[in-house]
Structure 1
Amino acid sequence: MIKTKFPTNPIDRLKLFFTFFDSRWEDLTKENWIKTVYQDFSAGLIVAMTAIPMAMGFAMAMGMRPEHGIIAGALACVIGRTFGGSKYQVYGPTAAFIPVIAALISKYSNPEIGGNFEQAHGFLVFVSILSGLILIIMGIFGVGKYAKLVPNSIIVGFTVGIAISIALTNFEDILGIENFKEFIGQDEDINGGLVHNIKMAISNIDHINIYSIIIGIVTFVLAKYLLKISIYIPGPVIAMATATILAATLFADKNLILVRDLYGSIPNSFFKIQLPYLPEMNSSVYLDIVYFVVSIVFVSGIESVLCSSMADRLANNEKTPFNADKEFFGQGLVQIFTPLVQGFPCTGALARTATSIKAGAKTPLAGYFKAILKLSMAFYLAQYLELIPMACIGGILVWVASNMIKPSEIKEIKKLGKFEFATMVYTAVMVPLTDFLTGVLTALIIYFFVKYFFKKKQILN
């Protein structure tokens, strides 16, 4: 890979950040533009088909509406591809944001404290804009390179912990327990966190819907194994279509709960301004603002740099590498503008970026095609998307969780030594048991504290 010297002066960085046709477009030439545009279009189409069910699933897991995921993924990709620092990265909803956004929406939409969904969404917009401004400042002043200092043991542990949380908190959809709540009028919300969900699942074990389980298993198997046959087979879309057909025919009278039963009709008039909202200020709200802003900044920075680095390796990029500072700047704009139009915070999506590269993506054009095609398909399919059974959404999310845990990465951490492996395990356990930021920050503190004293001890000896 070419060793590129990016600007070190903040003013020069800012000029580069607003340069549209920079080195990310170097693979688009007069000689090959027809072939490159075709490859980018093909990659955009494949990713768009894969992204629709995933975006809907992520949004619902966050406590948002299904269409919010579609909007967020499309707009984030346009902004990120325009101002980001990677040639290949696909932007959109990611699993790492699920516990962060779900916690915010759950707390601030609670009627017991006078909240509702609109207020919670407005508060999310507020903290996301603050996060975006911080990311922009970090990019301008060259902080992007420091994201690489986070140890792999913590990154892998964090990913495993998020995967465990996603899988366990979405089993009620597959088991049909949400279905039971809906039809007999149970008031207590099952989406109340990991420990709460497990307790609720156990207490309602005798109300499991076998047909819901079948839908979930069929979805998981099709999504997971069709993509292994060929990257050009949109496994999640086929799984979603199969589950929807089963729910409408063979299982039509089996009390399966559909997306529309929980969310009503999905509109195809996607874009609507969502203004920021601030609740009545007190010490708790101030702490929440700090917590959620730090969380969004951390996830945005770490995951985008990690995804960009992975993309360069996967694409065998021998030319200009990604620019971490420009990536921070692009992420900042994503977090400012995406939530303002009914979206929510997004970042680089590892699985969709890998899919895009394997499908032949060469330039940022693939991201633009993905956004346009995703919105176009969702516009015409909106009336059918609301017929998807919730067990299918649960199956998709469990499939996503299974893909996040990579045995090869765990083996690599184990080779680094007992301390690195223990750090990974600690992070993986603490993230679902406490919360995202507590798990990661305590792991970072322990890691660098131990490393510092171990190094100091070596010097004294």
Structure 2
Amino acid sequence: MNKKLFPTTPAGRLKLFFTLFDSRWEDLTKDNWAKTVYRDFSAGLIVAMTAIPMAMGFAMAMGMRPEHGIIAGALACVVGRTFGGSKYQVYGPTAAFIPVIAGLITKYGPANGGDFETAHGFLILVSMISGVILIIMGIYGFGRYAKLVPNSIIVGFTIGIAVAIALTNVEDILGIESFKDLLGQDEDIKGGLIHNLTTAFGNIDKINGWSIFLGLMTFALTKTLLRISVFIPGPVIAMGLATLLSATFLADKNIILVKDLYGSIPNNFFVFTPPMLPALNGTVVVDIIYFVCAIVFVSGVESILCSSMADKLANNQRTPFNPDKEFFGQGMVQILTPLVQGFPCTGALARTATSIKAGAQTPLAGYFKAALKLAMAYNLAQYLELIPMACIGGILVWVASNMIKPSEIREIKHQGKFEFAMMTYTAFMVPLTDFLTGVLSALIIYFVVKAVFKRKTKDAPESALEVDTLINSQASGSPK
């Protein structure tokens, strides 16, 4: 391994981390710069148009305001592309953070007698602590350990998050929120998964058929257009059509809009938001530990997974991503992004794949994406507040549907019954309990079972494949 590109000492890594023009820029040369800049600009434009509705949807699902998603996605991409370890990765709000951030905002926000400013400030505090930990992990070479998380648990975690996203957005598509507001009810439907489902089906008689139509139309149109070509901004077209219909033909159908829940969307994005610590007690200390661990885990695993996927998808034949520098970049993202109306972000799988398919070759694509996203959002802010919430729900259900990949499930199934069981367990536990409980319990079970079966073997197997074979033979009742 080239020690200049992948240093083996903390001092060497730290020097590399602050080398901004490193091997990530090796595909930009004086001979091809015009073509490369054009391709990166095109990729940035496509991703920016796709990212605006997704960022707004993620933010609202987390209990944040729509503009927080816009600024978080743009700033995270600038910081991540400056300090991260991947040539291609697009940074921004991701589905994996929804249960983590929503859980914190719900616990410390208005839903439990607090206020949003305190909850957001507490989120900023735990995010910054997480960032410092990620930076230290990167300096001391912990990036490679993120690859040790079993693929079965990663796939199960992804499925669990997808199910939670789809089910917790059911009220937006059903239009129940609009009836709640019209009737003057105080109960907020945006609680946990079980609470949301109970409330939604308890108000099934109040559903709005036109909201369902807009939600399903958004889902179907987005999915269809992106299947035709990645260069078609499916979410933007679907969002525009739904907004036009709700403002004209469906203007009197009691369809709730973004402005009905969040008011006007301001375009003064860059507002400093300081960290805040609630009155310190045992519960707060435990929550700090919990949410810091959750943010570090999601940041580390998803960014390494996304970087690895990006190298494969782009057929990168030159310098691969650096996992330690990626940890450092993630740390900088979690420290800087929340300070300007943002929240924790990480590598976004779908947007990274879109960027690569659209021709991205260097980190320039990320900078273009950030600038174009802010420019469009700034000029369209007055129209973004007119988007129907059913449209946002449809986009998030589309995101959830893309997270569940049959090919990955089949791959896990072929690895044996034990791996498949762990995937299934994680997929159920994540939405039924909470993110960290589901994932950590799965990891404990996985490695304990591996250790037990290793000790039971007379000739301890040296490879994970041999251990899997032994576990699966035991599970199926076949002889050793």
TM bucket, shorter chain? over 0.9
Q: Deviations over 1:119-148 (max 9, x none)?
A: 000000000000000000000000000000
For residues 143-222 of structure 1, what are the structure 2 equivalents within 5 Å? Answer: 143-222=142-221
Q: How far is 1:414 from its partner?
A: 0.2
CA-based RMSD of the aligned residues comes to 1.2
Does the C-alpha gap of structure 1 residues 437 and 283 become closer, same or farther in structure 2, counting only changes over 3 Å?
Answer: same
Whether contact under 8 Å (1:224, 1:235) holds in the other structure is yes
Q: How far is 1:186 from its partner?
A: 1.4
Which residue number in structure 2 is paired with residue 346 of structure 1?
345
Determine whether 1:37 maps to 2:37.
yes
Does the C-alpha gap of structure 1 residues 254 and 300 become closer, same or farther in structure 2, counting only changes over 3 Å?
Answer: same
Determine whether 1:51 maps to 2:51.
yes
Q: How far is 1:187 from its partner?
A: 1.3
Deviates more, 1:398-407 or 1:180-189: 180-189
Which residue number in structure 2 is paired with residue 16 of structure 1?
16
Q: How far is 1:180 from its partner?
A: 1.1
Return the alpha-carbon distance in structure 1 between the equivalents of residues 173 and 390 of structure 2. 4
For residues 84-163 of structure 1, what are the structure 2 equivalents within 5 Å? Answer: 84-110=84-110, 112-113=112-113, 115-163=114-162
- What amino acid sits opposite 2:171 in the alignment? E
Return the alpha-carbon distance in structure 2 between the equivalents of residues 418 and 373 of structure 1. 47
- What amino acid sits opposite 1:213 in the alignment? I
Q: How far is 1:66 from its partner?
A: 0.1
- What amino acid sits opposite 1:53 in the alignment? P
Return the alpha-carbon distance in structure 1 between the equivalents of residues 4 and 217 of structure 2. 47
Which residue number in structure 2 is paired with residue 278 of structure 1?
277
Return the alpha-carbon distance in structure 2 between the equivalents of residues 239 and 458 of structure 1. 57
Residue 271 of structure 2 aligns to a residue in which SS? coil
Q: Deviations over 1:316-374 (max 9, x none)?
A: 00000000000000000000000000000000000000000000000000000000000
- What amino acid sits opposite 1:19 in the alignment? T
The percent identity for this pair of structures is 77
Whether contact under 8 Å (2:111, 2:188) holds in the other structure is no
Whether contact under 8 Å (1:2, 1:319) holds in the other structure is no
Deviates more, 1:186-195 or 1:136-145: 186-195
* Structure 2 unaligned regions, length at least 5: 461-480
Q: How far is 1:110 from its partner?
A: 3.1
Residue 189 of structure 1 aligns to a residue in which SS? coil
For residues 312-331 of structure 1, what are the structure 2 equivalents within 5 Å? Answer: 312-331=311-330
Return the alpha-carbon distance in structure 2 between the equivalents of residues 111 and 393 of structure 1. 22
Whether contact under 8 Å (2:425, 2:442) holds in the other structure is yes
Whether contact under 8 Å (1:136, 1:328) holds in the other structure is yes
Determine whether 1:362 maps to 2:366.
no
Whether contact under 8 Å (1:157, 1:428) holds in the other structure is yes
For residues 296-335 of structure 1, what are the structure 2 equivalents within 5 Å? Answer: 296-335=295-334
Return the alpha-carbon distance in structure 2 between the equivalents of residues 4 and 318 of structure 1. 18
Whether contact under 8 Å (1:2, 1:320) holds in the other structure is no
Return the alpha-carbon distance in structure 1 between the equivalents of residues 111 and 385 of structure 2. 26
- What amino acid sits opposite 1:91 in the alignment? Y
Whether contact under 8 Å (2:169, 2:396) holds in the other structure is yes
Which residue number in structure 2 is paired with residue 64 of structure 1?
64
Whether contact under 8 Å (2:5, 2:23) holds in the other structure is no
- Relative to the length of structure 2, the TM-score reads 0.95
Return the alpha-carbon distance in structure 2 between the equivalents of residues 456 and 7 of structure 1. 36
Q: Deviations over 1:196-223 (max 9, x none)?
A: 1111111101001000000001100111
Whether contact under 8 Å (1:136, 1:332) holds in the other structure is yes
Whether contact under 8 Å (1:4, 1:320) holds in the other structure is no
Q: Deviations over 1:168-188 (max 9, x none)?
A: 000100001111111101111
- What amino acid sits opposite 1:320 in the alignment? T
Q: How far is 1:459 from its partner?
A: 3.1
Q: How far is 1:227 from its partner?
A: 0.5
Q: How far is 1:395 from its partner?
A: 0.2
Does the C-alpha gap of structure 1 residues 5 and 458 become closer, same or farther in structure 2, counting only changes over 3 Å?
Answer: farther
Does the C-alpha gap of structure 1 residues 164 and 112 become closer, same or farther in structure 2, counting only changes over 3 Å?
Answer: closer
Residue 122 of structure 2 aligns to a residue in which SS? helix
Does the C-alpha gap of structure 1 residues 26 and 265 become closer, same or farther in structure 2, counting only changes over 3 Å?
Answer: same
Which residue number in structure 2 is paired with residue 241 of structure 1?
240
Aligned length: 460
Q: Deviations over 1:215-247 (max 9, x none)?
A: 001100111110110111000000000100010
Deviates more, 1:58-67 or 1:189-198: 189-198
Which residue number in structure 1 is paired with residue 268 of structure 2?
269
Deviates more, 1:306-315 or 1:191-200: 191-200
Give the 4+ runs in structure 1 shifted more than 2 A. 1-5, 110-113
Q: Deviations over 1:293-328 (max 9, x none)?
A: 000000000000000000000000000000000000
Which residue number in structure 1 is paired with residue 381 of structure 2?
382
Return the alpha-carbon distance in structure 2 between the equivalents of residues 182 and 298 of structure 1. 37
* Structure 1 unaligned regions, length at least 5: none
Whether contact under 8 Å (1:55, 1:69) holds in the other structure is yes
